[in-house]
Chain A
Amino acid sequence: MAMLELVELRKQFGELVAVNDINLSIEKGELRGLIGPNGSGKTTLFSLITGFMRPTKGEVLWEGHDITQKPPHSRAEIGIVRTFQITTLFKEMTALQNVIMAYHLHTEMGLLKQFFGTRATRERERFLEQKALGVLETLGIADVRGEIVKNLPHGHQEALALAIAMATEPKLLLLDEPVTGMNHVETRDMMKRIRMLNEQGITILLVEHDMRAVMGICRKLTVVNFGQRIAEGSPEEIMNNKDVVEAYLGVGGR
């Protein structure tokens, strides 16, 4: 059974069909690239999977269960976690605090205990701090743990977004254009991190409009345009696909 399956998923904004009856399935352990030109419906599709939008029709299946109507926080609970396109972080907190916050899901503590700040709570906080630090170390940004996030450079912020997502211990991680606005070095570092997370067993769906960025690390790509899936296959197949070339370069392009 596929881990995630989209069945005839459709999203309409008035007359505009942003996602047009898309079928898609992702297997456990995949590092899938979802590409398409600007305005092709990638981000809408992304929001439908993570629950930030509800489809007009169709189903989202998670390990065979229908999750179409679940809100984002419930999906995070079962392991579907996203990052955001425009870097969205808790800007006034430190990098470490951001990650600690993200352990929220896995720190069920009694309200009264929290309120009175018992020793158990304090120990728990210290334990979380260590865990959060571990995540920052894995992603190579532990040196900026004490910095207020809004003062961090762009590349660090994107890496931190990844760290936050990691702290929720996701099964499926959806990355929304994680290398936008990055220079070559930052992009390379980011791709390295993404591949490493995948090797640790996290299934990843990577959304990009820049084809070259994903060619290097994804073994399978899905291409959408005008809200429809126009191609799927290995990077080589996609590069030589007539429809894809047309979508990116216009009819008659090469």
Chain B
Amino acid sequence: MNKQTILRRFILPIVGIAFLCAMPTMVSPYNLSVLIFLFINLILVVSYRFVTNMGLWSFAHISSMGIGAYTAGLLVTRLGWPFWGALPIAVLASALVGLIIGLPCLRTRGFYFFLSTFAAGEAIRWAWILFREPFGSYSGIGVIPRPEQIPGMNFALSTSYYYLALGFTLLSLVILYRLEKSRIGATVNAIRSSEDLSESIGINTPRYQTAVFATASAFAGLAGVLLAFYTGTITPNSFSFMYSMEILVFVIVGGPTSFFGPIVGACALTAVGEALSGFMQYMPLVYGTVLICVVLFQPDGLINLPKRILSLVEKYTGRRMAANDNRK
């Protein structure tokens, strides 16, 4: 192993994690909460990209998140379950609903896939509104307590909750990264590249698509659980279409072709959002403008911007050098 791989594989991640662990001592409580929401969004965008990687742009991802949040919320508030018991059940519930939505919706493509997942997502959201019992209609589920203490961690404190969110986020990202780099990820890429050819070489494409969809739903569910226990209240509007759009924008602006693209997108736009926090009314305009500019001028996303600038600089300096040579 050469120096560079050691640097990339061990030193950078360790420094990064140490930095993130030290965060609570460096930033204000408000900024800490921004980071916790960012972590939740990171789980969402990276798992969402797992689906979009198949060339399928789903609009049910946030609904899967809601399934996780509602399941855990109900188990804890109604049945008095502990957080650590409700969490796995909520994640499984999200995966199951993902499976149920996926089976019919994955038979459609393109615009119809968008439409059917949108319909499924809205149907779920309206169920939360219309079934007052047990979902609590518009006011949702109130006062979800913070997770029980474990030695050294009192999750009633935001600092401890920060570590909880950080832990689950890192775990999710590592799992999703490994999935992408494994043969499973390669197969997903193959299916996106050509479904017909994948079928003809013996890949059971519907099974893969459904499995990926359900897995991504499970991660969305985890994000939902983290949100529910952090905010303490969830309502149908916590999982609105606008939230779906926001995730979509994060992924596209960051760059859907790379694993780290959506992460960059979420971080960058969250930073922009915070910088503009005093000018809430401008936010949609800024988001819209950024999205259009990226789609027009940098369709590979922000993640590929440095590479592009570098090649432009090279081209420019190269031309200058060539011009100098000519002058000689």
CB within 8 Å of B: which residues of A? Answer: 50, 52, 71-73, 76-77, 81-84, 88-93, 97, 101-102, 104-105, 107, 109, 111, 114-117, 121, 164-165, 167-168
Contacts and interface: CB of A to CB of B under 8 A. Distances in A.
B187 A104 contact: yes
B184 A76 contact: no
A84 B202 contact: no
A90 B189 CA distance: 9
For B181, B197, B203, the residue with the greatest tally of chain A CB atoms inside 10 Å of its CB is B197
Interface in B169-209: 178-179, 181-184, 186-187, 189-190, 193-194, 196-205
Contacts of A115: 178-179, 182, 184
B197 A90 contact: yes
A58 B150 CA distance: 66
Contact of A73 (B179, B189, B190, B202): B202
A76 B199 contact: yes
B195 to A, nearest CB: 10
A114 B205 CA distance: 18
Contact of A81 (B189, B198, B201, B203): B201
Contacts of B193: 89-93
B196 A104 contact: no
Contacts of B196: 52, 72, 84, 88
Given A84-B196, A90-B197, A105 B183 contact: no
11 contacts: A50-B200, A52-B196, A72-B199, A72-B200, A76-B199, A90-B193, A91-B193, A107-B183, A114-B183, A115-B184, A165-B200
A111 B183 CA distance: 9
A117 B182 contact: yes
A105 B178 contact: no
A100 to B, nearest CB: 8
Closest 5 CB pairs of A and B: A76-B202, A105-B202, A72-B199, A90-B193, A102-B201
A117 to B, nearest CB: 7
B178 A116 contact: yes
A104 B182 contact: no
| Residue in B181, B183, B196 whose Cβ sees the most chain A Cβ within 10 Å | B183
A168 B200 CA distance: 9
Contacts of B200: 50, 72-73, 76, 81-84, 165, 168
A228 to B, nearest CB: 27
Interface of B: 178-179, 181-184, 186-187, 189-190, 193-194, 196-205
Contacts of A165: 200-201
A123 to B, nearest CB: 14
A165 B190 CA distance: 15
Nearest to B185: A114
Given A76-B201, A81-B201, A117-B181, 5 more contacts: A77-B202, A91-B193, A104-B201, A105-B201, A168-B200
A107 B186 CA distance: 13
Contacts of B189: 90, 92-93
A107 B194 CA distance: 20
Given A76-B199, A76-B202, A102-B201, A114 B194 contact: no
A76 B199 CA distance: 8
- Find the residue from B184, B190, B202 having the highest chain A CB count within 10 A: B202
B199 to A, nearest CB: 4
A50 B196 CA distance: 11
B298 to A, nearest CB: 19
A240 to B, nearest CB: 36
Nearest to B191: A90
Contacts of A104: 187, 201-203
A130 B138 CA distance: 60
A24 B187 CA distance: 35
A140 B116 CA distance: 46
B203 A73 contact: yes
Given A164-B201, A168-B201, A88 B179 contact: no
Given A52-B196, A88-B197, A114 B182 contact: yes
B197 A73 contact: no
Contacts of A164: 197, 201
Contacts of B179: 115
Contact of B184 (A83, A84, A114, A168): A114
B174 to A, nearest CB: 11
B53 to A, nearest CB: 12
Contacts of A101: 186-187, 190, 201
Contacts of B202: 73, 76-77, 81, 104-105, 168
A90 B183 contact: no
Contact of B201 (A93, A117, A167): A167
Contact of B194 (A72, A77, A88): A88
A93 to B, nearest CB: 7
A118 to B, nearest CB: 11
